[in-house]
Chains A and B, each alone.
Chain A
Amino acid sequence: MRNWPRNLKLGVGLLIAWILLAVFGPMLLTGDPTTMDLMHSLHPPSLAFPFGTDNLGRGVFTRVVYGTRLDLQIGLFCVVPVFIIGTTIGIIGGYFGGFFDGLSMRLADVAVAFPFLVAVIAIVAVLGPGLTNMYIAVAVVNWVSYARITRSEILVVKQMDYVQAANILGFGNTRILARHVLPNVITQSLIYASSDVILAVFTGSSLGFLGLGAQPPAAEWGLIIADGYSFVSQAPWISAFPGLAIVALAVSFSLLGDGLADVLRPELGR
């Protein structure tokens, strides 16, 4: 750990801090993120309300802290399923080739033809707004990135001497895949995943902002920002603080991603 590059140390540290905030943050707060209190509507930041209050008198700070839970959950639920699905498709297609490979790659061609956000919005539009449908939509579209990355890595690794040797020695495909191919292939997906979390949170909060993701009165950063738009001149704090949270989360994950890339793929250099 002492040899980790600075950005990785910082990234991991910040990630742990975010998780702690998501898990324990709400417990330390006395306020509730959804209870309205019209007596304290649109208060500017103060000791009682560090980030001020919104038009319904809810503390923005409380909502942003609760939002950490929801937005980290969005990051997790958007990335983990597609990581598993996409990597599996990529491995099977890349290693065995054939019809399955051809089919999955043609599907991938079509999926990347649409702008990611447009595709997700279109699917949510027909399935109906809400987080669950958004997770489905993201899964339908985003497995492609992982499948493509994994597949191209597999094609390289397959040609490596040690895999060829294992093949000649008559080891079964499962064993070759698990012992020799997988560890080499997974790193690239892992690096991609850490930056993909940012994209996922962006997508989730974008949909929240457009009214297609998390539904009111949930405390979700994009949703809070949308709430604040009507009060841009009276109460800019409503939208400003959740945005800062997103930026901070994004920077944490991009440090993590850069750090991982430095450690796992030192040959890429910087």
Chain B
Amino acid sequence: MLSYILRRLLLMIPVALGITLAVFLLVRLIPGDPARAILGIHATPDLLAAVRARLGLNDSIVVQYLIYLRNLVQGDFGQSYYYGEPIARLVGERAVPTLLLLAYSTVLTLVLAVPAGILAATRRDRAADHVVRIVSTVGVGLPPYWTGFILILLLSVTFKIFPIGGYGNTWGQRMFNLFLPALTISLNVAPLVMRALRSSMTEALGAGFIDTARAKGLSGWAVLLRHALRVAILPAIGVLGLNIGFLVGSTVIVENVFSVPGLGQLMISSINTRDYPTIQMVTLIFGVIVVLIYLATDLLQMLLDPRVRKAQIG
């Protein structure tokens, strides 16, 4: 298992290099002189020259990339123009709320999708199934910035249960404050997982091992949860993994809707302040998060499915 993880990490190196190259080239897309774009039209020539030197714009592009890579490896992510502090520290602070929000919405997604998927599969083509399917069709179409608005309108403005936004100082506060943001994301992603689970659960419930389990005298719940769900959850986790990019993208919106001081909020505020090195780094971190989550999903599936384990490790 450990050697497999190491092998997977090694295989990630080309993609990781690709990510850094893409992010590096991103700033070169700036039309005209990047230094001027950063400083604005009223910049003095001295200042322009200083920024050019700091960006290494006077070197060849290959050298610039190598220097960029070296700095990344050394943990030197540069300075934020706007905040005037090291980007590494800035990004590190902002990553915590984002990761918390991601984990929270993943858990909520499962909490919503699993019972709904089981209900739809066990009551297939009956009223409960139709309701779940209609709700999920609408759910996929819920844009997070609007869902967020409706939730705020209902649960913060009309019934003053949840705060309109913010993060909090204690973990308890944070879990409470992040509930609406996480729910907003989940309402959008859960239908996808639910659909996958509905079909995999239907298939599992028709499988021979369900007969065996029932013939043993197991209760309906034990058959459903210990046998059918254990098998049916695997494709659903795969679907969740595939949509992780979508989920992460939603955090950018939701953080801005609910004023969560995470990477997504940092990204948008950096765009408004033309803080390009910060934009660059946040983009890079988002890429790394997604790649690592893909890896984690694969490992989780191996952990849960001995067949995958065998196919991968032998």
The interface of chain A, by Cβ under 8 A from chain B, is 106-107, 109-119, 121-123, 125-128, 198, 202, 205-206, 209-212, 222, 225-226, 228-229, 232-233, 236, 239-240, 242-243, 246-251, 254-255
Contact = CB atoms under 8 A, between A and B. Distances in A.
B15 A125 contact: no
Contacts of B27: 126
Contact of B141 (A116, A122, A251): A251
A126 B29 contact: yes
5 contacts: A109-B14, A110-B21, A114-B245, A240-B149, A249-B141
B308 interface: no
Interface stretch (B79-87, B173-181, B283-291): B283-291
If over half of B's interface residues share one DSSP class (helix, strand or loop), that class is named, otherwise mixed; here it is: helix
Nearest to B156: A232
Given A198-B140, A232-B153, A222 B245 contact: no
Given A206-B253, A210-B256, A116 B145 contact: no
Given A113-B291, A114-B287, A232-B153, A121 B145 contact: no
Given A113-B291, A250-B140, A225 B145 contact: yes
Contacts of A119: 283
Nearest to A198: B141
A54 B273 CA distance: 28
Contacts, number: 142
A-B interface, 3 closest residue pairs, ranked by CB to CB distance from nearest: A250-B141, A117-B249, A243-B146
A251 B283 contact: no
A247 B138 contact: yes
A111 B26 CA distance: 12
Contacts of B256: 210
Given A110-B15, A114-B290, A246 B149 contact: no
Contacts of A236: 153, 157
Given A123-B29, A236-B153, A109 B146 contact: no
A230 to B, nearest CB: 11
B252 interface: yes
